[in-house]
Structure 1
Amino acid sequence: MREVGTRDGTIRLGQFLKLADLIDAGADAKQLLAEHDVRVNGESETRRGRQLVRGDVVSVDGRAVRVG
């Protein structure tokens, strides 16, 4: 599993999706969350403002990335 580091260990889901190259632009987060299976720590998530912390695992259609 790939790990993507953040400056202070916390980041919002929409920002993380962009940082992890799971979307091309931050504006794409809303559409991705509406149309794809996005999970945080195994639970379905639809809020792009969800606060993530170091160690959280975000998966989109089976591709998983850990917050570092």
Structure 2
Amino acid sequence: MIKLDQFLKLVGIASTGGQAKLMILDGDVKVNGTVEIRRGRKLVSSDRVTIQGRTFEVGDVIK
């Protein structure tokens, strides 16, 4: 498992935790098609994260 804010940093969407937090709180991030505003949301390999028109499958990034 990985937290949502850490995942955004890992894939290079956010360069800092603060930037990731703002993206999440602004409602820019969707998890499995639903806006997610909890930066501590724990992601599992089957989750799909969408931001800035890009979708990432958590399991494809974390192996």
- TM-score by length of structure 1 reads 0.77
Give % identity. 47
Which structure dedicates a bigger proportion of its chain to helix?
2
Deviation per CA, 1:4-60, whole angstroms, max 9, x where unpaired?
xxxxxx100000000011111122111111335210000110010000000210001
Unpaired runs of at least 5, structure 1 = 1-9
Q: Is the 8 A contact 1:36 1:61 kept in 2?
A: no
- CA RMSD, Structure 1 to Structure 2 (Å): 1.2
Equivalent pairs counted in the alignment come to: 59
Partner of 1:59: 50
Matched, 1:41 2:32: yes
Higher relative contact order (CA 8 A, sep 6+): 1
Q: Distance in 1 between matches of 2:11 and 2:4?
A: 10
- TM-score by length of structure 2 reads 0.83
Unpaired runs of at least 5, structure 2 = none
Which structure dedicates a bigger proportion of its chain to strand?
1
Matched, 1:13 2:9: no
Instruction: Identify which of 9, 13, 20 aligns with 1:29.
Output: 20
